[in-house]
Amino acid sequence: NAGVTQTPKFRVLKTGQSMTLLCAQDMNHEYMYWYRQDPGMGLRLIHYSVGEGTTAKGEVPDGYNVSRLKKQNFLLGLESAAPSQTSVYFCASRYTYRDGNTEAFFGQGTRLTVV
Amino acid sequence: AQSVTQLDSQVPVFEEAPVELRCNYSSSVSVYLFWYVQYPNQGLQLLLKYLSGSTLVKGINGFEAEFNKSQTSFHLRKPSVHISDTAEYFCAVSALNTGGFKTIFGAGTRLFVKA
């Protein structure tokens, strides 16, 4: 079982470059989330999606775009990278069972450095 | 809107001593509450969760947490810690927003267990 897979695991960008982070889940989950983790600030929600074709803004959406064209994939894009976007990015997917039980599953993270 | 506050950024404790990591939240709607643990250079692992029912929930690795609705708290406890519990711990609250379920994390508490 792959679970939640993020690619790439590491990346160094120059200021102004663009890139896309891919999150893939094989659990048929409806909800998917992108977070960034910075020292002393915990995880902050960038964007999330409640299903294929839908996206919504989180706490810190500026400078990022997302797409959910397929249920299993949630893409995070940086159109023009800035040093302030240096961070560790985590993707998560979430499932809610019929009895109301719910659990989120996290990827291993992508360490992005913008120089 | 929802928010999460972890009251201690760092908690040093001696091995075999008890520990409590504090978490307070605010939300205008019903919430689900979670505690996650993150070991260095790894993703997040679910420790325990409160969805409904009994306010005392037990998780993995001997941790437990108590949901207190009147104090809007969800403190994490362990009666006797081990060196291997050294990690960063995140409290999270999930609530239904207009855009779907949004999960917000606290800034984290770094637990240091000393011999």
How far, in Å, are A21, B70, B72, B103 from residue B31 at the CA level? 30, 13, 10, 10
In whole numbers, what is the pLDDT of chain B averaged over residues? 92
Closest Cα in chain A, distance from residue B15 (Å): 24
In whole numbers, what is the pLDDT of chain A averaged over residues? 92
Q: Would you call B102 an interface residue with chain A, using a CB distance cutoff of 8 Å?
A: yes
Instruction: Quickly state the pLDDT bin for A103 (edges 50, 70, 90).
Output: confident
Share of chain A above pLDDT 90, in %: 83
Residue among A31, A40, A41 minimizing CB distance to B100: A31
Q: Would you call B89 an interface residue with chain A, using a CB distance cutoff of 8 Å?
A: no
Residue among B45, B101, B104 minimizing CB distance to A59: B104
Kindly report, residue by residue over A60-92, the tens digit of the pLDDT. Answer: 999 999 999 999 999 999 999 999 999 999 999
Kindly report, residue by residue over B6-54, the tens digit of the pLDDT. Answer: 999 999 999 999 999 999 999 888 889 999 999 988 889 999 999 888 8
- Name every chain A residue with its beta carbon within 8 A of the beta carbon of B44: 43, 90, 92, 106
| Residues within 8 A of A (CB atoms), B 5-64 only | 6, 9, 32, 34, 42-46, 49, 51-52
- Name every chain A residue with its beta carbon within 8 A of the beta carbon of B102: 45, 48, 56, 58
Kindly report, residue by residue over B68-100, the tens digit of the pLDDT. Answer: 999 999 999 999 999 999 999 999 998 887 777
Report DSSP letters for chain A, one per residue: ---EEEE-SEEEE-TT--EEEEEEESS--SEEEEEEEETTTEEEEEEEESSTT--EE-SS-TT-EEE-SSTTEEEEEESS--GGG-EEEEEEEEEE-TTS-EEEEE---EEEEE-
Radius of gyration of chain B (CA): 14
Q: Say which residues have a Cβ less than 8 Å from residue A8's Cβ, sequence separation at least 6.
A: A21, A110
Residue A47 pLDDT: 96
Q: Note whether B100 contacts A56, CB cutoff 8 Å.
A: yes
Q: Note whether A58 contacts B44, CB cutoff 8 Å.
A: no
Q: Say which residues have a Cβ less than 8 Å from residue A65's Cβ, sequence separation at least 6.
A: A47, A76, A77, A79
pLDDT at A1 over 70: no
